[in-house]
Amino acid sequence: MTAAGHARRTAAFAIDAALAALVALLLALIFGVFETAIAYLEQFRLRVGLVGLAGYLLAHGWFLSQGRSVGKRLLGLVVIAQSDGAPAKLPRMLVRMLPLALVLFLPPVWALAAFAVNLLPAGFGERRALHDYLAGTRVSRLA
């Protein structure tokens, strides 16, 4: 398996994020997450973070157990363990999600900065982002 290219990974991420956002919006509507004043005045980031996380897990949950997501599946990508090259299992995938999940709880400017810092190492060498180093993974393209 070869290391995945930037364009393919970016496209997969865009698909994943859009799908997660769609599910999150549906959850917000169904459960009235943003119907009250307190949601905006005191708990906005917390609620955005929690509903975003729930949206991501619901949208991609089954695929995550196979080292994939909807976007990665569509674009022929898989997350593999750096140690043995096997598709990453769910615990490793959850650790890999951690930095991106935390971003959801940050103010917009900080979130963008953290997102950029996380991606920075992916521009070099093994094309592994910070979350890949954290989880001991890398993204590969299926032959």
Partner 1 sequence: MAKGLSRARATALRATLAALAALALAPGFVAAATTDCAAEANVDFASTSWGGDARQTRTQANSDIRVDNVAQLRLDWVYALPGGNSPHSYPLVTADTLFIGTQSGVLLALDRASGCKRFRFQADSEVRTALTAGRVGDQALIFFGTRGGFVYALEARTGRLAWSRDVRDHDAGMVTGTPVLHAGKLYVPLSSSEVVLATSGFYGCCTFRGSVSAWDAATGEFIWRSHTIDREPKLTHRHWVFVRNYGPSGAPVWSAPTIDARRNQILFGTGENYSGPSSGGSDAIFALDLDTGERRWRTQYTADDNFNVACNVSADHPNCPAENGPDLDFGAPPILGRLQDGSEVVLAGQKSGYVHALTPDNGTRLWSRRLGRGGYLGGIHWGMAFNEELGLLYAPISDIRQAPPGVEGEPSPGLSAIDAATGEVRWQQPVSANCDGRSRCLAGFSAAPGSNAELVFVGGLDGMLLAFDAASGAERWRFDTWAEFASVNGGDGESRANGGAIDVHGPQLVEDLLIVQSGYAGFGQRGGNALMVFRLTDDAS
Smallest gap from Cβ 128 to partner 1, in A, equals 37
Whole-angstrom Cα distance, residue 131 to residue 97? 7
Cβ atoms of 127 and 3 within 8 Å: the answer is yes
Smallest gap from Cβ 23 to partner 1, in A, equals 14
Q: Restricting to residues 16-75, which ones interact with partner 1 according to CB under 8 A?
A: 28-30, 32-38, 40-42
Q: Which is nearer to partner 1, 28 or 93 (CB)?
A: 28
Sheet with 137-141, edge to edge strand ranges? 2-3, 137-141, 77-81
Smallest gap from Cβ 40 to partner 1, in A, equals 5
Q: Which is nearer to partner 1, 29 or 112 (CB)?
A: 29
Smallest gap from Cβ 79 to partner 1, in A, equals 33
Burial of 42 (0-12, 13-18, 19+ CB in 10 A): exposed
Q: And the tokens for 86?
A: 């096997």
Interface positions with partner 1 (CB under 8 A) = 28-30, 32-38, 40-42
